Structure 1
Amino acid sequence: MIHLTAQFCAKMGKEDALYQLLTAILAPTRNEKGCIRYCLFQDQSDSRKFLFQEQFSDKNAFDSHCKETHFTDLIANLNGLLEEEPKITFYNAIEA
């Protein structure tokens, strides 16, 4: 199982444009084979900050996601919208 978060921070005044790009990939990603969870959140105190929580069945499913047109289009259209590079963090599940 692959668990990760992806954090994005929009430049001042670019929040709406980033919101549109990020929300556009929710439905197609959720329909991908191997996608278990794909949720987008917006920071309550800073509307420029967004967070994806993602879960894929395995590395192949995640790698396939990264090659999908909706994902590559997103990456191509981020230019000029972000304050900094996205922060991607992978996690190991802890079973108790």
Structure 2
Amino acid sequence: MSSILYCIAQFTPKEGKFDALFERLKALEPDTLREEGCLRYRVTKHIENPFAPGESMPIVFNEAWASVEYFERHCQRKEIVEFFEQECLSPDGMVAAYNVTAYRDE
């Protein structure tokens, strides 16, 4: 039985903020990849493809964590809390909308 937690974190940037937001999110990768329990943490850009016609926010993190506990510990890290406070919750932030969801494979 797997204990892996998968997370999809989607972001829509404010007008003119796509590149800056993508770089801000990309800067979170190196330290997060070194966290205990982090199996995958990659920020991606949505692309058009005829075999994947669904809708998505333009920037998406694909994450995998060894357990719920590792994921929750990550979410409480200073850098992650600051990102959400500064970019998602603050009216001056770069994020217009976001959606973070967690999944299990069992």
Deviation, structure 1 residue 20? 2.1
Q: Which residue of 1 aligns with 2:61?
A: 52
Deviation, structure 1 residue 34? 0.5
Secondary structure of the corresponding residue to residue 3 of structure 1: strand
| Aligned residues: CA RMSD | 1.6
Task: Name the TM-score, length of structure 1 as normaliser.
Answer: 0.84
Q: What is the identity percentage for the equivalent residue pairs of Structure 1 and Structure 2?
A: 27
Number of equivalenced pairs: 91
Secondary structure of the corresponding residue to residue 95 of structure 2: coil
Q: Which residue of 1 aligns with 2:54?
A: none
Runs of 4+ in structure 1 over 2 Å off:
none
Aligned partner letter, 2:74: H
Secondary structure of the corresponding residue to residue 62 of structure 1: helix
1:30 pairs with 2:33? yes
Unaligned runs of 5+ in 1: none
Cα distance between partner residues in 2 of 1:64 and 1:92: 17
